[in-house]
Amino acid sequence: MTIHQPRLDSVSTDEMPVDELTNWGEATIKPIAALAFKGEGAFQPGEHCRFCKVKATCRARADENLKLAEHDFKKPPLLTDDEIVEILAAADELQSWISDVQAYALDQAVNHGREWPGFKLIEGRSYRRYADEAEVTEVLVAAGFDEEEIYTKSLLGITAMEKLVGKKQFNEILGTLIIKPPGKPRLAPESDNRPAIKSTAEIDFKEEL
């Protein structure tokens, strides 16, 4: 029996008697599958959770990962070696679970307009860039700057260009050629100084009105 998993670049082969395989399927797997189809049975959190569509909101997975909370009242120097090993062993799955929950919460906020108590949707960090490098070059050359000054192997970055041209003149001749795209949406505590932004769902709803 060979199982090929192309996405994992994995090919595994094993041998066992046919009657043993069919008995395992009938006696072990079939009853478990029947319970699952009825929404019953026990949840078994583990590495396989990454394939589950409810991995971010599964109660059993949350309970399993939150077991680490029992160490919260201790400072690192007071942890025993066994406790540190326990945390290290669970760290990857814990981080994966946290990332899944954060991704789910962000998706719900951005695409479905959901509001989470204590959090707001904000724009992440964004950087200035030239809207059109060819036009920036043309404008600077017309302003009396040599191409050798404004070019290295590529057009100078905005900060370096601003230093070369001077902030006032930079804004006067290049202000309309500088764009600062919105940052990637992220959830932040309400105490964050950045203003809240509207969710995609809220914007789409208003545009349809």
Q: What is the DSSP secondary-structure string of 74-142?
A: S-GGG--HHHHHHHHHHHHHHHHHHHHHHHHHHHHHHHH----TTEEEEE-----EES-HHHHHHHHHH
- pLDDT at residue 43 in the model: 81
Q: Give the tens place of pLDDT for each residue, 34-84.
A: 887 887 777 888 888 888 888 888 888 888 878 776 666 566 677 788 877
- What pTM did the predictor assign? 0.54
- pLDDT at residue 153 in the model: 78
Of the candidates 48, 74, 71, the one whose C-alpha atom is nearest the C-alpha of residue 61 is 48
